[in-house]
Amino acid sequence: RTFRRERPAGEAFNYISTDTQVLAAVLRGAYGQSLIKTFNEKLAQPLGLSGGSWLMDRLGPGGKELGYCCLQLTLEDYAKLGQLYVQRGVVGGKRLLPLGWTRFVE
């Protein structure tokens, strides 16, 4: 509660690992399942990825994926993610990511 925004949301991009870890927690809460299950449903299956794994913060029950790193895929699968970017979030005529999403990473 003591943190304040440095600038309005969407105005500038500054990668900080804790921000992406918080985003991962938000996604887990929004979808009610693990990050890897959401990734598989929303991206891996539609893209035809062979599947992968995510490094966990600890082993056993209660472990959560490290949202800031460590998605482990084959080189071919990473190439498919790159192709998704090149095609602006559309694969096989189907939009997987919102229009304009690439502006967030450019």
**Residue at token pair 């009610």:** 32
Q: Are 82 and 35 in contact (CB under 8 A)?
A: no
Query: Is pLDDT of 105 > 70?
Result: no
Rounded distance between C-alpha atoms, residue 23 and residue 33, angstroms: 14
Q: Residue 38 gets which letter from DSSP?
A: H
Query: Is pLDDT of 11 > 80?
Result: no
Question: What is the band of 106 on the pLDDT scale with cuts at 50, 70, 90?
Answer: low
Query: Is pLDDT of 96 > 70?
Result: yes
Contacts of 105 (CB under 8 A, 6+ apart): 13, 85
